[in-house]
Structure 1
Amino acid sequence: MMRAWNPSMLFALCGALVATGMFLKGDRAAAVVVLLFFVLLAVLNSPLVFPRSTGVLEARRRSEADGRPIVFWRPGCRYCLSLRIRLGRDAHQLHWVNIWRDPAGAAAVREANDGNETVPTVVVAGRPHVNPDVTWVREQLARRT
């Protein structure tokens, strides 16, 4: 569970250290800007940005019932973050599985990607697609809902 927060905590800690150094040198305005930038990076890389994750078994069950795609992701992945941001509100219609919280989800991703934990992996109708274009994901979602 804590592993999911590691990138966020690292960004916040680095930002605090850099801003403290700048503040002690007397550059208070720049220190505030730097701290705010690092806090923004921490939030964007936190699990808070993504819809609530489910386990792979629950995601598969729900996907079979409603036909919506499953997205396997992990915190700190810039491609996952990019997909999430570009999907906007549509992201909440997908089933998200955090592979760092769900070992079965990580195993499913490794099985689909020749042993690699490459994310985002989007599963539509049982077929995995690695790092798909956001337009394609929206099309798949529109077909299913």
Structure 2
Amino acid sequence: MTRAWILPLLLMTCGTLVAIAQFVRGSAVGAVPFLLLFGLLAGMNSPLVFPRPVTDAEARRRSAEDGRPVVYWRAGCKYCLRLRLRLGPAAHRAHWVDIWRDPAGAAAVRAVNGGDETVPTVVVAGRPHVNPDPSWVRAQLGRGPRTGEG
């Protein structure tokens, strides 16, 4: 198990324990909202909300071909989740690198952030942008392939 799943599992465990306590007290109806709430929180903080991650090398290769941004992220990061949710379906057009799964991705983020693993870091045309505005990232996703760069 990777550390990306620790927070979602902890949230589900807490939700289950609270729901069991409600059920033991005789409030089966009160247990359901707790399970739903903690299940939603666990899902939102899991890697499942994000597009399938690729390696740093693969993301760079694809970005060089199609000009789309590379988004470095990690599960449990509220700013990454904010970016993902605000991008909506357009998020699938970016190349997502989970820095907790890819050491090269983590190293790339540290290289542009003074040794810190600050995410989300979005690289567009070779230039890093730390925690950019989601509307700006969406605009970058709407652009076509860039020619003459690289």
Q: Do the two structures share a fold, i.e. TM-score over 0.5?
A: yes
**Secondary structure at 1:144 match in 2:** coil
Where structure 1 has 5 or more consecutive residues not aligned to the other structure, the ranges are: none
The Cα of 1:28 is off from its aligned counterpart by: 1.7
Amino acid in structure 1 at the alignment position of 2:3: R
- Does the alignment pair 1:49 with 2:12? no
**Secondary structure at 1:82 match in 2:** helix
Q: Which has the higher helix share?
A: 1
Distance (Å, rounded) in 1 between the aligned partners of 2:72 and 2:30: 38
**Secondary structure at 1:83 match in 2:** helix
Distance (Å, rounded) in 2 between the aligned partners of 1:50 and 1:2: 16
Alignment partner, residue 3 of structure 1: 3
Distance (Å, rounded) in 2 between the aligned partners of 1:7 and 1:144: 37
**Secondary structure at 2:76 match in 1:** coil
State which drifts further: 19-28 or 64-73.
19-28
**Secondary structure at 2:11 match in 1:** helix
Alignment partner, residue 131 of structure 1: 131
- Does the alignment pair 1:26 with 2:34? no
- Does the alignment pair 1:140 with 2:140? yes
Distance (Å, rounded) in 1 between the aligned partners of 2:59 and 2:98: 11
The Cα of 1:82 is off from its aligned counterpart by: 0.9
- Superposition RMSD in Å: 1.0
Aligned residues: 145
Distance (Å, rounded) in 1 between the aligned partners of 2:93 and 2:65: 13
Distance (Å, rounded) in 1 between the aligned partners of 2:27 and 2:144: 54
Distance (Å, rounded) in 2 between the aligned partners of 1:105 and 1:95: 12
The Cα of 1:6 is off from its aligned counterpart by: 1.0
Identity %: 64
Distance (Å, rounded) in 2 between the aligned partners of 1:44 and 1:70: 21
Q: How does 1:1-145 map to 2 (within 5 A)?
A: 1-145=1-145
Distance (Å, rounded) in 1 between the aligned partners of 2:72 and 2:144: 18
Alignment partner, residue 148 of structure 2: none
State which drifts further: 87-96 or 14-23.
14-23
The Cα of 1:143 is off from its aligned counterpart by: 2.1
**Secondary structure at 1:84 match in 2:** helix
Distance (Å, rounded) in 2 between the aligned partners of 1:131 and 1:104: 19
Distance (Å, rounded) in 2 between the aligned partners of 1:114 and 1:18: 42
